[in-house]
Amino acid sequence: MLEYLDLPYVFPENEAQKLDIFTPDQGGFSTLIWFHGGGIVSGSRKGNDIPCGLVKKGIAVVAAEYRMYPTAKFPDFIVDAANAVAFTVKKIKELGGNGKVFIGGSSAGAYLTMMLCMNKDFLKNAGVNEELDITGFISDSAQTFTHFNVLKEMGMDSRIQYIDQKAPISFINSALTLRPLLMFYYSKDMVCRPEENKLFYASLKRFLPDSDVTLTELEGTHCSADFPDQNGDRRIEPYLFDFISKH
C-alpha cells in the first residue's frame, strides 16, 4: 500500500481541508472517496470509520476532511466535499487510477455524499463532470431529510423531520439524472433514520423506476458496520467491494 498524506485540496491551506490517499501498489485501480461521520461536529479522516481494508483488495481509498460546526455553516462542508472530489479526480489519475471514482461516507459523511449526489450544482461548481468523472455513490445511513445539526443552525428543533433545499430527498424528480447508488441503514439505527431512507428509496423509484439504486438493511446500531471488529475487519467492506467491482 502506498500512502499520500495530508494533501491540501484547496489553497491557501487549511487543516480542515486536507485528505489522505491510500492506493494499492499496482496501478489500474478504482477509487473510493470516503467522508467520515460525526454529525458535522466531530470525527476525522484519521478515524476508524474509514474503509481502508479495501486497499488490500485493490481499491484506492481517499479519506477527506471537511469543515464542521461550530466554525462552519451550511453549505461550507458540502462545498468542501465537492472540492475534495475535484482534487481527487485529477490527482488519482497521476497515481494510477483507472478513471472510476466513487463517492461515499457514513452518517454525516453520507449526508454530504447524498447532497453531492442529488444537488448537481455542488460538483458542477467545483469543476466536476458527474457523468464523466463519477461512477457511483455510497450512502451509509445518511439523513435524507435536512440534517439535524443544519436544523440547529437554522434555529429549529433538531428532533423534527424537515424537508427543504438542504435535504437530499427534496431534489427527487422525474428529470433527475442519477449515477448508481448504494444505500444502507441499520436495524437499530438512529430514530427515524430507517424510515427516512425507505421513503427516499420509495420516492426515487416512483419517479425513476429504472434507476440503479439499492437499499440494504444491516444488522446493528447506527453505522456499526463501519468499525473494525477484533480481527480488524469491517462488515461493510464486502458490500462496498462488490458494488465497486460491479460498476
Residue written as grid cell 468542501: 80
What does residue 7 show for φ and ψ, rounded to 5 degrees?
A: -90, 120
What pLDDT digit, counting tens, does each position of 19-75 carry? 999 999 999 999 999 999 999 999 999 988 899 999 999 999 999 999 999 999 999
Structural domain count of the chain: 1
Q: What percent of the chain shows pLDDT beyond 90?
A: 95
pTM tops 0.85: yes
What pLDDT digit, counting tens, does each position of 169-192 carry? 999 999 999 999 999 999 999 999
Query: ∠123-178-141 over CA atoms, to 5°?
Result: 80
Q: What is the pLDDT of residue 34?
A: 98
Tell me the CATH number at 50: 3.40.50.1820
Q: Which domain holds residue 36?
A: 2-246
CA distance linking residue 148 with residue 160, whole number of Å: 8
CA distance linking residue 211 with residue 190, whole number of Å: 27
CA distance linking residue 145 with residue 164, whole number of Å: 8
**C-alpha cell, 27:** 496501478
What is the chain's mean pLDDT, rounded? 96
**C-alpha cell, 115:** 447532497
Residues 6+ apart with CB under 8 A from 243: 102, 136, 138, 180, 182, 214
The answer to whether residue 140 scores a pLDDT higher than 90 is yes
CA distance linking residue 22 with residue 226, whole number of Å: 17
